[in-house]
Each structure stands twice: as C-alpha cells, then as structure tokens.
Structure 1
Amino acid sequence: MSFCDEVKKRFIRLSRGQRKVAQLVIENPNVVATHIASEVGKFIGVSESTVIRFCYAMDLSGYSELQERIRKDLSESKKVVTKEPLTIGKKHEYLFSEIMNRDVTSILNTIQYVDAENFQKATHYLHEAEEIYTLGFRQCAPSASYLTSMLENFGKKASQIQFDVNDIVKQIKRMDKDSLLFVIAFDSVLEDVLTILKIAKNKKVKVIAITNSTISLVRDYADISFVVGTQKQFSFEADTAASAIVHALIEGMTLLNRNHYKKYYNLNEQLDHDLRLLEEETIATK
C-alpha cells in the first residue's frame, strides 16, 4: 500500500487541520516532498505544528520521515512532476491548443465522476427550489456569478452571497427549508464557507456543491456533490469543468418544464433586443 493510500484510509480520523495536510499530500505530494514543514503550513493555511501533528497521526517520527515516504512513492510511480501554471509570457508555439486541450481533458475527467442519479436529483432540486443562494468566494466567485446569471435568465429567484459579513448574515437569515444553497468551493475552503454550510444544514436547506477534491470538507454538508477537474490541476484550472457542470444542470432543469422556462428565456431575449435598438437609436441621434 502506498503512503497516499494509507492517508486516505485514515483521513476520516484526522482533525480538520490535519485533513488539509492530508489533502495536500494526496493531491500535490511533490509540494510536500520539496518544501519544509513551515512552508507547507503557510501554503494550506495551517500552523507548522499542525503539519507535525499530522506526521504523528500517521505514525511517523516527524516531517523528515513524511518526506522520505512521499519521495519513495513518487520515485516508484515515476510521477515526480513539477507543476507550473501557464504564464502570459510563456513562449510556446502551440500555447492556445495546449490550453484548450487541457480544458477539454478537465471536462472529460469530470464526466467519469458524475453520478447520473445525483445529476437528475440536482436538476429537480433546482427546479423545485423557491429561492436559490449561490456561494463561491475568491477564485470561485466568477463561477458562482455565472450560475446566478443562468438561473435568473430562466426566471429563478437567485441571490449570490458576497464575501461580506453583513451580506452573509442577511442571506442566511432569509434561508428556509424551501431554499437551495449551491456552493462552488475549490482547494482550501474558507472557514466562512463551512460556517455558512453548517447554519444552512441546521435550517434544513438543501445543498448542492461543486468541489475539485473527493475529500473536500464541503462534501460533508452537501446533499449532492460533484467533483471537477483532475487532482493535478490548480484550482483555477477547474473553472472550465465547473462551468460545464453548471450549464448541464441548468439545461437539465429546463427540460423538466420546457414551456415555463422558455417563456422567461424569450422575455430576456426580447429585452436584450429592445435595449440594443435603444442604444443604436441613441447613438444615431447624437
């Protein structure tokens, strides 16, 4: 059994902070193998002592033995790869196709993790919810915004929770058993996100979540969860796959009542058309 397999086996018995270390070991072992304990702690938002306690929880003598075990696994599996994000200044003849193919691969890898029954159940949740709250902080905010916009286009009452204490409190107060909370959260999850999820579950709010990890703490609070991308991807690289799932869920929702949703979509299309005409007339009169 590899060390990563041992970590997965003991994951449920680890503390919350230790789980963050475990997640890094499983998904980015090369980072642990090449950085000291304090740097690893800063990278995932925990203390150096938490990293060391993780080692003890795994029956290791300390951080040095942790690195030795990981390096051994990496050497045996020949997976020692340095992950570097693509940069604007990178000279590459096929940069465009490389990026597009990476996104396609991310979506294809996501498909194998999507359970058909959960997908169908999620579309019903979206269709039946009287009010939908979307949540995505930091790098997940654009995906949450896209989801909110798509829902509004089809006449759903949707509100995006902002990264602001007053807005968070206001939105949580409005939630009830007929509400739906749709969370998009990648990598290290903010404590605020977990707090919102706990309160929502206490209020019997249904929760759908999209994460980029099979061991994300968010999944503990979700009625339905979807995992996007691949373990070797940076969180921002999973956005394309997340948007693909969002689009598919919205399409599935509209199929539950074609005429109802088509009416709202046509109204929005007509409004956009009228606004364009108004803009053209305004420009013409200047």
Structure 2
Amino acid sequence: MSFCNQIKKRFIRLSRGQRKVAQFIIDNPNVIATHIASDVGKLIGVSESTVIRFCYAMELSGFSELQQKIKADLTGEEITVEESNQKAAKKNVNLLNEVMNRDVACILNTINLTNEEQFDQAIKLLHQSTSLYVLGLRQSSPSASFFTCTLSNYRKHVKQIQPEPENIVKQIGTMEENSLLFVLALEELDEDAFKITKWAKSRNVKVIAITHSNISAIRDYADIMFTVGAQKNALAETITAAHSLIHALVEGMVAQNKKEYKNFQKANAQFDNNYLYLEKTLYI
C-alpha cells in the first residue's frame, strides 16, 4: 500500500490542521519530496509544528521519514535512511529546525496528555510534603538530578535516592506518611524503579510519577502519573518534554507561596556565597 493511501485510511482520525497537511501531501507529493518542513507549512497555511505533529500522528519519526515515504511512492522503490540522510545533507536541510521542532512537538503532545486537575494536585503535594524524595535510575538519573537541584533552590528536605541498595533501604526506611516520592521512569520500564516505588508505597507515602507510557506498571502505585512524549519519540525528546513538565511543576509549587519560596532561595544563595568566601579565605 502506498503511503498516500495510508494517509487516506487515517484521514478521519487526524485533527483539523493535520487534515490540511494530509490533503496537501496527497495532492502535492512532489512538493513534499523537495521542500523542508517550514516551507511546506507556509504553503499549506499552517505552522511547521503542525506539519511535524502530522508526522507523529502517522507514526513517523519526523519530516525526514515522511519525505522517504513520499519519495518511495514517487519512484516506486524504498529509500534507505542512509540515502535519505546523505541527500538531506547535500540539500542543506535545516537540521536545527528539524530537531528542535521534534522537541516542540513532543512538548505539545505532553500538554495534550496532561490532566489539569492532576497537575494542580501535584503542585499542592510538592508544596505540602514535609520531605521529598526523587527517584530516577539509569538514563532517568540525570533528570532526577536536575529535578532535585531545582527543588533544592526553593525548599528544604529534598533528597535524590541513590542507586546503591544500602542507600535505597536506608532512605525508604526514613519515609513517613507526609513524605512524597517523585519517580522519573523515562525509558522502558525499569524493574528496579517499579519495585522501589511499590516498596515506598507500602509505607503510605504519596507517589507522583513521570513515565514514558500511560500503561506503565508504576501506574498501580502512583497517586498521580504524568505521561511524556509518544511511542515514536526518541529518549532525548522524551527527556526534553519531561524537563519542561518539571519546570512547570516547580513554577506551580512556588506560586503556592511565592514569598516563602523566594525568601528561601535568597537565603540559600547567601549561604552559598558565604561558603565560597570562607573557602577562598582558607586557601589564601
């Protein structure tokens, strides 16, 4: 089946803007094969992001893969990713736009997946919890560190759970009912993250999770679960969307009591400055 026929089969499931893109592709495949995403958007009268979101709706990795499919329709032969990449390089396709628009599309998809009521509940839990623990293993660990550092700028008692078994046992053992565990599971389900979440939940702590899939097994033990990205998104795009959601959650938490959080931030910054001054003095 040609790719244009696949578009026709899925046409009814597309949004209004995506249908404009779909119809243009069916009517003008040569234009798609020879123009970059931003130019196509201008010709259709939609944003470049809408073009990229259409690609994701068709379960493609991005505009480059769409061009591969259309070129294969036009020539009657499959174009490999390697050949497409070589041609793209020769035509000086704007890689910056391509990559960053995939990030934008991933963030926009996350917005659509996020329940506003759950978002409000999450920022209240972040604000009200006495102690806050952040868990992220393997490729989710850098995101957990980012979240921990960001939160630590505004409030006390924020700890990142370290992956060593003895640390996990010790830190979960200190959790109380007014504690909050924030789990970041941005890759394929990590059995260790699932077990730790289940164990923490047995201590009656609240659990908020950000996962890559809305069918993640962590759902059974999370009070609130957010899904970022989509099935076709690369991990880097999923992480970008997760960090944007984290930013929004922290801003929401701060909005609960701006004066309190800003005062803590100032005091924390002053402490850091005094510490650096003392450290320099000791080495003079």
Q: Normalization by structure 1: what TM-score?
A: 0.64
Q: 1:95: how far off?
A: 2.0
Residue identity in the other structure for 1:255: A
Deviation sequence 1:37-62 (CA, Å, 0-9, x none): xxxxxxxxxxxxxxxxxxxxxxxxxx
Q: Which runs of 5+ in 2 are unaligned?
A: 1-58, 61-77
The within-5 A match list for 1:55-94 is: 91=89, 93-94=93-94
Q: Normalization by structure 2: what TM-score?
A: 0.64
Aligned to 2:202: 202
The within-5 A match list for 1:109-148 is: 109-148=109-148
Q: Which runs of 5+ in 1 are unaligned?
A: 1-28, 31-79
Distance 2:162 2:264 in 1: 26
Q: 1:186: how far off?
A: 2.3
Distance 1:207 1:176 in 2: 12
Residue identity in the other structure for 1:116: E
Identity of aligned residues (%): 45
Q: 1:82: how far off?
A: 8.9
Residue identity in the other structure for 1:147: F
Q: Secondary structure at the match of 2:113?
A: coil
**CA-atom RMSD, angstroms?**
3.1
Q: Secondary structure at the match of 1:213?
A: coil
Contact conserved, 1:177 with 1:204, CA < 8 A, in 2?
A: yes
Distance 2:211 2:79 in 1: 23
Q: 1:188: how far off?
A: 2.2
Deviation sequence 1:206-229 (CA, Å, 0-9, x none): 000001111111112110011111
Contact conserved, 1:139 with 1:236, CA < 8 A, in 2?
A: no
Change (3 A) 1:244 1:82: farther
Distance 1:228 1:81 in 2: 31
Structure with bigger gyration radius: 2
Change (3 A) 1:83 1:114: farther
Contact conserved, 2:140 with 2:185, CA < 8 A, in 1?
A: yes
Q: 1:93: how far off?
A: 4.4
Deviation sequence 1:93-137 (CA, Å, 0-9, x none): 422222211111111110001111100000010111110110001
Contact conserved, 2:186 with 2:239, CA < 8 A, in 1?
A: no
Contact conserved, 2:177 with 2:204, CA < 8 A, in 1?
A: yes
Contact conserved, 1:187 with 1:235, CA < 8 A, in 2?
A: yes
